[in-house]
Chain A
Amino acid sequence: DAKTTQPTSMDCAEGRAANLPCNHSTISGNEYVYWYRQIHSQGPQYIIHGLKNNETNEMASLIITEDRKSSTLILPHATLRDTAVYYCIVIRNTDKLIFGTGTRLQVFP
């Protein structure tokens, strides 16, 4: 399985866009990029996933580089409730998920 590299922590002002990067330089052609987040005392929450094209849903946007070696999760208008650990995971759809360290995003007023 491809491994991912994310910054340990990030801060973001409330109302601003939060851009969370992820490197996955060894990704293979059949592996998707998934983003999850874990808010305190809760299980991981699915945010978005993509294969090649950029994706957008009601929660976030996912920008994947053309070579697929990195991606960025964008929360367009961060709120205090977006404070969480964000996990970038590269897997095939049938794989078992293993959450790495993720990025601890702190949104401040």
Chain B
Amino acid sequence: SQTIHQWPATLVQPVGSPLSLECTVEGTSNPNLYWYRQAAGRGLQLLFYSVGIGQISSEVPQNLSASRPQDRQFILSSKKLLLSDSGFYLCAWTSGNMYQETQYFGPGTRLLVL
């Protein structure tokens, strides 16, 4: 069965510090991978998605970046965090088929920037 992992689960970082969040998927190959952010009381916002190794599409301008060094690994990074980067970060995957019945999300990382 497929599983998706994210770490760390929670993170408190000072403004201006770097960030690295990791997401890995097991039990599938060549997944589409997504990074989302959910700010408190808001809907889910798509940040990045990737259809393959080294292929990253950015949905919104920001000081975050994403990389996909391996087929089932997706990394979210920042060189200098802003207060507005606080939120709940979710990684998700699909098989790449539009009619995939379920998009699977990881457990998420709660990031608080102080």
Contacts and interface: CB of A to CB of B under 8 A. Distances in A.
Contacts of A100: 101-102
Contacts of A47: 43
A49 B84 CA distance: 22
Interface residues of A, number: 23
B41 interface: yes
Interface in B38-64: 38, 40-41, 43-46, 49, 51, 59
Interface of chain A, helix or strand or loop or mixed?
A: loop
Given A85-B98, A98-B104, A100-B101, A93 B41 contact: yes
26 contacts: A34-B43, A36-B44, A38-B103, A43-B34, A43-B49, A43-B59, A43-B92, A44-B44, A45-B46, A46-B44, A47-B43, A48-B43, A49-B43, A93-B38, A93-B41, A94-B88, A96-B90, A96-B105, A96-B106, A96-B108, A97-B103, A98-B102, A98-B103, A99-B102, A100-B101, A101-B102
Contacts of A43: 34, 36, 46, 49, 59, 92, 103
